[in-house]
Structure 1
Amino acid sequence: MKFYIKNMVCIRCKMIVKQELKRLSFHYIKVELGEVEIIEDVSSAQMIVFKSNLLKYGLELLDDKKSILIEKIKKVIVELIHYAEEPTKVNFSDYLSEKLNYDYTYMANLFSEVVGINIEHYVIMHKIERVKELLVYDELSLTEIADKLHYSSVAHLSNQFKKITGLTPSHFKKFKENRQLGIVNP
């Protein structure tokens, strides 16, 4: 039996879901971002308990096709930006269509309608979050980060970063360093 779970976007979420499955004595085949497959059939009483337990952590079981597709789109984006070792070499819209077997225009319209922002903006927000992570870890230069996230240039990355955060990448990094040292002046 397969379940789709809203807001399951990180490794910690996977651990929570595994914990809840174990608590209910369910045996899972796989637990991935936004998706769980278990061996057993689930009674309606078990389903109510499972839903209730997940809600305590901000996770929600999905049961309609549109919501499931939205979560699948989010999952592909998160996996591609945050967890892929090698970013895709193909156009993102083609990649998404190929991965989910839906027309990109249909997915883009549905996503905008349900989420309230377009897919491109959602991707940009996640890319900027990834840039922040990489800046904080301080393992890559800004040029390497731009390459890793397929920005056309460091200037493009910097402009997008400032547009979203209000700070330049270097100012963000300096601000984070100052906060870690206990200095409050940005």
Structure 2
Amino acid sequence: MMVKEELRKLGLHYVNVDLGVIEVLENISDAQRSQLRDNLLRSGLELLDDGKSILIEKIKNLITEMIHYSEELPKVNYSDHISEKLNYDYTYLANTFSEVKGITIQQYIIINKIERVKELLIYDELTLTEIAYKMHYSSVAHLSHQFKKITGLTPTFYKQLKDKRKRNLEDL
């Protein structure tokens, strides 16, 4: 709604405003583009108008959706899944992502998986073995190794810290 209002203020007519994509009828002048960018930034939104930035956001959103919001991780490997969903060759996607973000898609996936593991540890509903299985790790050892590499802590120690914080809060 906010985006549509900003377009109206600038006298721009849109065909479609969908998640992250706007189609306008007119050619946007540099002044209009600048004004739209400033107005959206004030609202906490960012105007991405170059193809690479848009593609990077799509990759990041797809990874976040896969890892944080899907009940089941894809049965195919991540590279095939990302390539298929975005309809691009994976090598192109990987090279573009690395060039823009400075890390590989695989590193980004691992960071997101570890964030999800941290959430699951805090919820305390699953054992570490169940979390490893849910997150498609080959073993608890593999999960623990990646977790320690990213956070500097073992999953068990991380969970103990959380439990200790919780007890300290209860004692207040």
Matched, 1:87 2:73: yes
Residue in structure 2 matching 1:122, options 108, 118, 142 = 108
Is the Cα–Cα contact under 8 Å of residues 146 and 153 in structure 1 kept in the other structure? yes
Secondary structure of the residue that 2:83 maps to in structure 1? Answer: helix
- The corresponding residue for 1:161 is 147
Alignment partner, residue 67 of structure 1: 53
Q: Which residue of 2 aligns with 1:149?
A: 135
Q: CA deviation at 1:142?
A: 1.2
Q: C-alpha root-mean-square deviation of aligned residues, in Å?
A: 2.6
Shift of the alpha carbon at 1:80?
A: 0.4
Q: Secondary structure at the match of 2:121?
A: helix
Which residue is equivalent to 2:161? 175
Range moving further from structure 2, 119-128 or 59-68: 59-68
The percent identity for this pair of structures is 60
Tell me the SS of whatever aligns to 1:60.
coil
Aligned residue in 1 for 2:120:
134
Letter in 2 for 1:73: I
How much has 1:82 moved relative to structure 2? 0.6
CA shift in 2, pair 1:64/1:29, >3 Å: closer
Q: Deviations over 1:116-156 (max 9, x none)?
A: 00111000000000111111111211112111111111111
1:10-50 C-alpha deviation (Å, 9 max, x unpaired): xxxxxxxx5x3476597997754xx2458x76876876555
Counterpart residue identity of residue 81, structure 1: I
Q: Which has the larger radius of gyration?
A: 2
Letter aligned with residue 52 of structure 1: D
Q: TM-score if structure 2 supplies the norm length?
A: 0.80
Larger helix proportion of the pair: 2
2:57 aligned with 1:76, yes or no?
no
Give the count of matched residue pairs: 162
Q: Unaligned 5+ residue runs, structure 1?
A: 1-17
Three-state SS of the structure 2 residue aligned to 1:59 is: coil
Q: Cα gap change, 1:142/1:121 in structure 2, threshold over 3 Å: closer, same or farther? A: same
TM-score by length of structure 1 reads 0.74
- Segments of 5+ residues of structure 2 without an aligned counterpart are 9-13
Residue range with higher mean Cα deviation, 140-149 or 151-160: 140-149
Decide whether the 8 Å contact of 1:28 with 1:36 is kept in 2.
no
Partner deviation per Cα, 1:75-124 (whole Å, 9 max, x = no partner):
11111001111110001111111111111111111111110001110000
Rounded Cα–Cα distance in structure 2 between residues aligned with 1:120 and 1:127:
10
Compare relative contact order (CA 8 Å, sep 6+) and give the higher one, 1 or 2.
1
